[in-house]
């Protein structure tokens, strides 16, 4: 069952921040949500969670518009790892992860909720920290608690906002692998991320936003071209392909790439085709 994001418009006060954003994600897709600072990535993520005021459009999953659901019902379908969030000082790691089960809990948590919590703590290497208070953790440990809570929620869709920004290299890689495993088991993941090399390496889909408009959509190997990235980030960027890997870096000064003033003339392939690169701005 795909996640269909259709014609999302969003205004903050009178300023339009998202313009007719449309794309769909299939089970198994780990999609990078890319774009420069202020382009609208976090806003789109929050819109999908019902946390930002959508002025038009819908988000369809399993036959329902997620935007029409209550918070609890939406939380059974979609979990979120925020960039940062306030830390309650008197909460232990175990209880913070158990909170991921609150959409299912009645008066008290069931044994299945505790089992899901333990599995998630183990996955994220947090069992040893279970009894620690979350306000005593390092930034990276706290980030792993957020991820564990989202996994414990047991949803089919996972939204992540820069989930590896506070993590050291080992946990960056392990987190990317866990999310990839989640999608290989049939989940759908959408991750706002700045690290283009991470996106190229771990994601099998990428969607680019510029100034609130969708400007490119496809596999990273197709979308990541010098021309597109230089245009979107307004900065000369080199892309090399080799050994099955795409590598992105700032262009060397002795062969700087001209930042094109026009969008590359790629067109969307028919639905279901692997190349979904679109030229979304005329």
Ligand X SMILES: Nc1ncnc2c1ncn2[C@@H]1O[C@H](COP(=O)(O)OP(=O)(O)OP(=O)(O)O)[C@@H](O)[C@H]1O
Residues that bind ligand X (CB under 6 A): 12, 17, 35, 37-43
Quote the least distance from Cβ 35 to ligand X, whole Å.
Answer: 5
Q: Select 38 or 139, whichever has its Cβ closest to ligand X.
A: 38
Quote the least distance from Cβ 63 to ligand X, whole Å.
Answer: 28
Sign, CA dihedral 12-16-20-23, equals: negative
Q: Select 18 or 116, whichever has its Cβ closest to ligand X.
A: 18
Q: Select 38 or 260, whichever has its Cβ closest to ligand X.
A: 38
Quote the least distance from Cβ 160 to ligand X, whole Å.
Answer: 12
Q: Select 12 or 235, whichever has its Cβ closest to ligand X.
A: 12
How many beta carbons lie within 10 A of that of residue 226, not counting itself? Answer: 18
- β-bridge partners, 157: 78, 188
Quote the least distance from Cβ 146 to ligand X, whole Å.
Answer: 16
Quote the least distance from Cβ 43 to ligand X, whole Å.
Answer: 3
Answer for the pair 30, 180: CB distance below 8 angstroms, yes or no: yes
Q: Is 132 exposed, middle or buried (0-12, 13-18, 19+ CB in 10 A)?
A: middle
Q: Select 130 or 165, whichever has its Cβ closest to ligand X.
A: 165
Length of the chain: 282
């Amino acid at each position: 069952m795909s996640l269909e994001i259709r014609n999302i418009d969003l205004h903050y006060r009178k300023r339009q921040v998202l313009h007719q954003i449309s794309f769909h994600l299939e089970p198994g897709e780990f999609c990078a949500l890319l774009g420069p600072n202020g382009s609208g990535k976090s806003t789109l993520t929050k819109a999908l969670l019902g946390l930002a005021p959508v002025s038009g459009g819908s988000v369809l999953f399993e036959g329902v518009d997620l935007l029409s659901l209550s918070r609890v019902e939406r939380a059974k379908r979609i979990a979120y790892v925020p960039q940062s969030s306030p830390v309650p000082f008197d909460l232990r790691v175990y209880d913070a992860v158990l909170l991921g089960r609150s959409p299912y809990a009645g008066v008290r948590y069931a044994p299945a909720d505790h089992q899901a919590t333990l599995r998630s703590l183990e996955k994220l290497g947090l069992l040893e920290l279970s009894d620690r208070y979350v306000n005593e953790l390092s930034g990276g440990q706290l980030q792993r608690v957020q991820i564990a809570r989202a996994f414990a929620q047991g949803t089919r869709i996972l939204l992540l906002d820069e989930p590896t920004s506070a993590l050291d290299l080992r946990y960056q890689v392990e987190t990317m692998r866990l999310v990839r495993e989640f999608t290989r088991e049939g989940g759908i993941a959408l991750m706002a991320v700045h690290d283009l090399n991470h996106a190229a390496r771990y994601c099998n889909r990428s969607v680019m936003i510029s100034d609130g408009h969708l400007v490119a959509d496809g596999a990273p190997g197709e979308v990541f071209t010098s021309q597109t990235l230089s245009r979107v980030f307004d900065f000369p960027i080199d892309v090399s392909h080799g050994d099955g890997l795409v590598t992105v870096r700032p262009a060397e000064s002795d062969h700087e790439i001209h930042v094109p003033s026009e969008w590359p003339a790629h067109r969307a392939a028919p639905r279901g085709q692997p190349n979904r690169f679109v030229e979304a701005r005329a």
